[in-house]
Amino acid sequence: MQRDWKAGLLFILPALLFYMLFMIVPYGLAFGVSFVKWRGVSMDMQFFGLGNFHMMISDPYFWKALTNTIFFTVCTGVIVPALALYFAVSVTRRLVRWARFYRITYFFPNLISQ
């Protein structure tokens, strides 16, 4: 049993290292940079504390961007799947006229592709 655990760890280690290198480290660096005043061109960084967050909250463009993001998330995450489910059920149950025609026209591109 102990040998299986070591073999499993050996197989998962490269993926874990890549995950840490390309996900965890950039998140940590971005978190650290969020507390400094930096123009992004030079290495001249000054500790700014929560000043960046204060500037962000007081900016009207931030609130507009946040509103747009929430709207887009609700539309693509709730409304679109709900409409897709409604249309799929109505065509499958033949609740609409010409349901067979709609099913054929929906599936037809799968027959032609490559």
- The span from the CA of 10 to the CA of 105, in Å, is 50
pLDDT in tens, 21-59: 999 999 999 999 999 998 888 888 899 999 999 999 999
pTM of the full structure = 0.59
Can you state the angle between helices 80-92 and 99-112, rounded to 10 degrees? 110
* CB-based contacts of 42, cutoff 8 Å, min separation 6: none
